[in-house]
Structure 1
Amino acid sequence: MTAQEQFVGGWTPYHPLTAQDKAVFEEALAGFVGVNYQPLEVSTQVVNGTNYRYLTNASLPGASQVVWRAVVEIYAPINGKPHITQIHRI
């Protein structure tokens, strides 16, 4: 790990998803409807829990040929279920 990755409160550079990153994303978006999000990379920030910024491809259900990029922000508390805090179309 680099010094930035170990610094509490600092965001890591975007990197490929680990199995844990994928599990957090899937749990937070379980039951989410209206837009399909496919995570490509993630950046994390250690706080009282972990903040995640997922760079994603987004598309409407049934219209997969129309794709845009979005950042899905998720907070995963130390104890409890991860949840979406914000979604930004970029």
Structure 2
Amino acid sequence: MSTSLVGGWSAFNFELSSAAREVFQEAVRHLLGVSYTPFAFATQVVAGTNYSYLAQAKTVAPESSLRVVRVHIFQPLPGKGEPHVTQIIAIEP
């Protein structure tokens, strides 16, 4: 029996599928100054798909420290555009 709600978020999956990895790479490819490495994702089906990734963020500078962020990406329906970042949220300890 499924307990997910229509329009609700899935649980975080710590094994990135090839499709989730591809959406992430396509959406962040134009971002400069920070390198992002996803390690978990959740999805929400809407008129397209919302992705919420947990990722390591490292500023591209000597001796910068790693941070953990949540990267939100929207993947439109097929033929309606490319995936794009809608929000990046720092996760504080």
TM-score between the two structures when normalised by the length of structure 1 = 0.89
Q: Which amino acid letter does the alignment assign opposite residue 56 of structure 1?
A: A
SS at match of 1:3: coil
Distance of 1:60 and 1:37 partners within structure 2? 9
Aligned: 1:60 with 2:78: no
More helix by share: 1
Total equivalences in the alignment: 88
Distance 1:64 1:17 in 2: 28
RMSD: 1.6
Write the deviation string for residues 33-58 of structure 1: whole angstroms up to 9, x where unpaired: 01111000000000000000000011
Could you list the structure 1 runs, at least 4 aligned residues long, displaced by more than 3 angstroms after superposition: 62-65
Structure number with greater Rg is 2
Mind listing any 5+ residue stretches in structure 2 that lack a counterpart? none
- The residue type equivalent to 1:50 in the other structure is T
Residue number in structure 2 paired with 1:12: 10
Gaps of 5+ in 1: none
